[in-house]
Amino acid sequence: EAGVAQSPRYKIIEKRQSVAFWCNPISGHATLYWYQQILGQGPKLLIQFQNNGVVDDSQLPKDRFSAERLKGVDSTLKIQPAKLEDSAVYLCASSLAGVYNSPLHFGNGTRLTVT
Amino acid sequence: DAKTTQPNSMESNEEEPVHLPCNHSTISGTDYIHWYRQLPSQGPEYVIHGLTSNVNNRMASLAIAEDRKSSTLILHRATLRDAAVYYCILRDVGGNTPLVFGKGTRLSVIA
Give the chain A residue whose CA is nearest to the CA of B41.
Answer: A108
What pLDDT, on the 0 to 100 scale, is given for residue B93? Answer: 80
What pLDDT, on the 0 to 100 scale, is given for residue A2? Answer: 84
Which among A2, A1, A3 is positioned nearest to A108, based on CA atoms?
A: A3
All residues of chain B having their beta carbon less than 8 Å from the beta carbon of residue A45 are 98-100
User: Distance (Å, rounded) from C-alpha A8 to C-alpha A111?
Assistant: 8
Question: Are A97 and B99 a contacting pair at CB < 8 A?
Answer: no
Note down pLDDT in tens along chain A; length 115 residues. 689 999 999 999 999 999 999 999 999 999 999 999 999 999 999 999 999 899 999 999 999 999 999 888 999 999 999 999 999 999 999 999 877 788 999 999 999 999 9
DSSP secondary structure code for residue A108 in this structure: -
Give the CA-trace dihedral at B51, B109, B9, B59, to 10 degrees: -10
Burial code of A35-44, b = ≥16 C-beta within 10 A, e = fewer?
Answer: bbbeeeebbe
What is the side-by-side strand order in the sheet with B84-92?
Answer: B9-13, B105-110, B84-92, B31-38, B45-50
Q: Is B9 on the interface with A (CB under 8 A)?
A: no
What pLDDT, on the 0 to 100 scale, is given for residue B96? Answer: 74
What pLDDT, on the 0 to 100 scale, is given for residue A71? Answer: 86
> Is residue A27 helix, strand or coil?
coil
Question: Are B96 and A31 a contacting pair at CB < 8 A?
Answer: yes
pLDDT tens, B30-50? Answer: 899 999 999 999 999 999 999
Our CA-based measurement puts residue A75 at a distance from the nearest CA of chain B, in whole angstroms, of 17
Q: Is B100 on the interface with A (CB under 8 A)?
A: yes
DSSP-assigned letters across all residues of chain B: ----B--SEEEEETTS-EEEEEE-TT--TTEEEEEEEE-TTS--EEEEEESSS-EE-SS-EEEE-TTSSEEEEEESS--GGG-EEEEEEEEESSTTPPP-----EEEEEE-
Could you count the other beta carbons within 10 Å of the beta carbon of residue B102?
17
Q: Is B8 on the interface with A (CB under 8 A)?
A: no
What pLDDT, on the 0 to 100 scale, is given for residue A70? Answer: 83
What pLDDT, on the 0 to 100 scale, is given for residue B2? Answer: 52
Give the chain A residue whose CA is nearest to the CA of B48.
Answer: A103
